[in-house]
Amino acid sequence: MESDPSISRDDPDLYLVRQIRAGDQRAWSQLIARYQGRLLAFARARLGDGGDAEDVLQETLLGFISSLRHYDEERSLETYLFAILRYKIQEQLTRRKRAPQTAFGFDAADDAPPGALEPATRETPSSIAARHESARTASRVLAGVLRTLIEELRDRDKLDDLAVVELLFYVGLRNKDIAERLGRDEKAVAGVKFRAIGRLSALLERAAAEGRFDPKAHSIEDLANDDATIAQVWRRHRLSCLKRSTIGAHLLGALDEPWESYTRFHLETVGCLMCRANLDDLSGPEGEAARPRLQEELFASSVGFLSRTAAMESVDETSNAESRKSK
Ligand SMILES: [Zn+2]
């Protein structure tokens, strides 16, 4: 597995995950060092500064290890970790018997990975897959076309329009509210919406023509207007989220327009909690001294689960190799 030539150190996350799957303790320690700051910042934003945030971070790392077999390497590691964290926070809030509060209320735990959600019930990925196959197809197709739509807007520096689309599809605001928030004309907002849905339909048609889904099973019109799935996919894949390096450049005042405005929009107007956690982590004077202590504690409390995971992985690996051979 380590000798797979397709694995490059250029993707540090993938490299780390593969090493961890093989039981590499140093890789596990590196992953903790890499993510603990932003995860802790996120947890503290929701739970306050008490010890709860650190507890939840620890549970998140354990949840990650125990669900590692189900982790899809094509999925962003950061997004996956945040999904587990959100679920653990939700659990914590339930324990406290207090309703969660979020800016737009879109921070529910409904996108936690199945492995992390139900570590005890052990529903198999294939049974979940079969049950949700149709919904999964819709999600996959929409994720692809939305990503293209967003890239096109970015490439053409149409970040003002991207902001409209984000409030429309992701946050779910009405034209009038979007116009108010962005200081734009309501007709202009309606125009952006019209073009975005048109483009989405065209991209869906292309995807159908390429055989990526069956338009008889999922009509293009239904897909293009499936607001709930679009919002869910957008959040799950963090389609418009900022790169950590972009947030860093924003902090240094090194971002050019229109990116600076868009970055502020995403952080402040949308109030994306995951990007804000990265911002807090990057900007906080917080805990340079405390971090190595925390990292050691997190590592010590979780490393015992690694060998177990690695053993299960090798069983999986054997059966995967068998099924690859038979293809
Ligand atoms: Zn974000």
Interval 222-247 mean pLDDT: 89
Place of tokens 């921070």: 107
Q: Are 84 and 58 in contact (CB under 8 A)?
A: no
Q: Is the pLDDT of residue 102 over 70?
A: no
For residue 169, the CA-to-ligand 1 centroid distance in Å is 14
Comparing 150-154, 279-283, 289-293, which segment has the lowest mean pLDDT?
A: 289-293
Q: Is the pLDDT of residue 309 over 90?
A: no
For residue 205, the CA-to-ligand 1 centroid distance in Å is 28
For residue 4, the CA-to-ligand 1 centroid distance in Å is 33
For residue 241, the CA-to-ligand 1 centroid distance in Å is 4
Amino acid, res. 177: D
For residue 39, the CA-to-ligand 1 centroid distance in Å is 13
What would the pLDDT profile of 17-63 be if each residue is shown by its tens digit?
999 999 999 999 999 999 999 999 999 888 887 778 988 999 999 99
For residue 257, the CA-to-ligand 1 centroid distance in Å is 18
Task: Determine phi and psi for 122, rounding to 5 degrees.
Answer: 55, 40
For residue 278, the CA-to-ligand 1 centroid distance in Å is 9
For residue 163, the CA-to-ligand 1 centroid distance in Å is 12
For residue 317, the CA-to-ligand 1 centroid distance in Å is 34
The Cβ-side half-sphere exposure at 64, using a 13 Å CA radius, reads 29
For residue 103, the CA-to-ligand 1 centroid distance in Å is 13
For residue 237, the CA-to-ligand 1 centroid distance in Å is 10
For residue 100, the CA-to-ligand 1 centroid distance in Å is 19
For residue 232, the CA-to-ligand 1 centroid distance in Å is 14
Q: Are 149 and 101 in contact (CB under 8 A)?
A: no
Higher pLDDT, 155 or 313: 155
Q: Is the pLDDT of residue 69 over 50?
A: yes
Q: H or E segment at 209? A: helix 186-209
**How many residues are recorded in the chain?**
327
Ligand 1 ion local residues (Cβ < 5 A): 241, 272, 275
For residue 32, the CA-to-ligand 1 centroid distance in Å is 21
Structural domains of the chain, ranges and CATH numbers in brackets: 12-103+284-318 (1.10.1740.10), 115-239 (no CATH), 242-270 (no CATH)
For residue 77, the CA-to-ligand 1 centroid distance in Å is 14
For residue 242, the CA-to-ligand 1 centroid distance in Å is 6
Report the C-alpha gap between 303 and 200 in whole angstroms.
Answer: 45
- Taking the whole predicted model, whether its pTM rises above 0.75 is answered as no
- Give the DSSP per-residue string, 273-313: HHHHHHHHHHH--TTTTHHHHHHHHHHHHHTHHHHHHHHHH
For residue 299, the CA-to-ligand 1 centroid distance in Å is 27
Comparing 25-34, 141-150, 156-165, 214-223, which segment has the lowest mean pLDDT?
A: 214-223
Q: Compute the mean pLDDT over every residue in the chain, rounded to the nearest whole number.
A: 81
For residue 21, the CA-to-ligand 1 centroid distance in Å is 28
In this prediction, residue 193 carries a pLDDT of 94
Report the C-alpha gap between 15 and 76 in whole angstroms.
Answer: 13
In this prediction, residue 2 carries a pLDDT of 43
For residue 274, the CA-to-ligand 1 centroid distance in Å is 5
For residue 283, the CA-to-ligand 1 centroid distance in Å is 16
Q: Are 78 and 273 in contact (CB under 8 A)?
A: no
Which residue spans within the chain are E strands per DSSP? Answer: none
For residue 297, the CA-to-ligand 1 centroid distance in Å is 28
Comparing 56-70, 114-128, 142-156, 268-282, which segment has the lowest mean pLDDT?
A: 114-128
